[in-house]
Structure 1
Amino acid sequence: MKQVNLKLFIAFFGSFFGFIVMSYLVQAEHLAAFDQEIIHVVQGLEAERLTEIMKFFTYIGTIRFIVILTILVFLFLFYILKHRLEIIVLLSVVFCTPILNRLLKLYFHRARPDFNRLIEIGGYSFPSGHAMNAFSFYSILAFLIWRHVPTTLGRISVIIFSSVMILAIGMSRVYLGVHYPSDILGGFLASGLWVTAVIWFFQRYKERPEAN
Structure 2
Amino acid sequence: MKTIYNFLFILSVLCLVAFVLLANIYDSDFVKYFDIQTIKSIQGLEQPILTTIMKFFSYIGDTIQVIIISIIILVILYKVFHQRVELILFTIVLVGSTTLNVLLKTFFQRERPIFYQMVIEESFSFPSGHSMAALSLYGIISFLLWRHIPKQSGRIVLITVSAIFILVIGISRIYLGVHYPSDIVGAYLISGFWLMFTIWGFINIRERSLRKDRTAVNDSPQ
Distance in 1, matches of 2:213 and 2:132, equals 31
TM-score, scaled relative to structure 1: 0.95
Match of 1:138 in 2: 138
Provide closer, same or farther for how the CA distance between residues 92 and 131 of structure 1 changes in structure 2, counting only shifts above 3 A: same
SS at match of 2:116: coil
Match of 1:175 in 2: 175
Question: Residue 153 of structure 1: CA displacement?
Answer: 2.4
SS at match of 1:31: helix
Confirm or deny that 1:68 pairs with 2:65. no
Distance in 2, matches of 1:72 and 1:29, equals 44
Structure 2 unmatched ranges of 5 or more: 215-222
Provide closer, same or farther for how the CA distance between residues 29 and 109 of structure 1 changes in structure 2, counting only shifts above 3 A: farther
Match of 1:7 in 2: 7
**1:78-106, Cα deviation, whole Å (9 max, x unpaired):** 11211111111111111221111010011
Question: Which amino acid letter does the alignment assign opposite residue 131 of structure 1?
Answer: S
SS at match of 1:114: coil
Contact 1:16–1:190 under 8 Å retained in 2: yes
Contact 1:174–1:180 under 8 Å retained in 2: yes
Distance in 1, matches of 2:158 and 2:13, equals 24
Query: How many correspondences in the alignment?
Result: 212
Distance in 1, matches of 2:179 and 2:213, equals 43
Contact 1:205–1:211 under 8 Å retained in 2: no
Distance in 1, matches of 2:174 and 2:74, equals 31
Distance in 2, matches of 1:24 and 1:30, equals 12
Question: Which amino acid letter does the alignment assign opposite residue 42 of structure 1?
Answer: I
Question: Residue 210 of structure 1: CA displacement?
Answer: 4.1
Question: Residue 178 of structure 1: CA displacement?
Answer: 0.2
Provide closer, same or farther for how the CA distance between residues 114 and 202 of structure 1 changes in structure 2, counting only shifts above 3 A: same
SS at match of 1:30: helix
**1:11-61, Cα deviation, whole Å (9 max, x unpaired):** 211211110111111144530000011101100011111111111000111
Which contiguous aligned blocks of 4+ residues in structure 1 show a shift greater than 6 angstroms?
A: none
Provide closer, same or farther for how the CA distance between residues 36 and 27 of structure 1 changes in structure 2, counting only shifts above 3 A: closer
Contact 1:25–1:31 under 8 Å retained in 2: yes
Distance in 2, matches of 1:35 and 1:170, equals 14
Match of 2:98 in 1: 98
**1:112-146, Cα deviation, whole Å (9 max, x unpaired):** 00111001110110000001010100101011111
TM-score, scaled relative to structure 2: 0.91
Distance in 1, matches of 2:206 and 2:38, equals 42
Match of 1:126 in 2: 126
> RMSD in angstroms over aligned alpha carbons?
1.3
Match of 1:46 in 2: 46
Distance in 1, matches of 2:163 and 2:33, equals 26
In percent, how many aligned pairs have the same letter? 42
The structure with more radius of gyration: 2
Distance in 1, matches of 2:157 and 2:212, equals 33
Distance in 1, matches of 2:66 and 2:151, equals 27
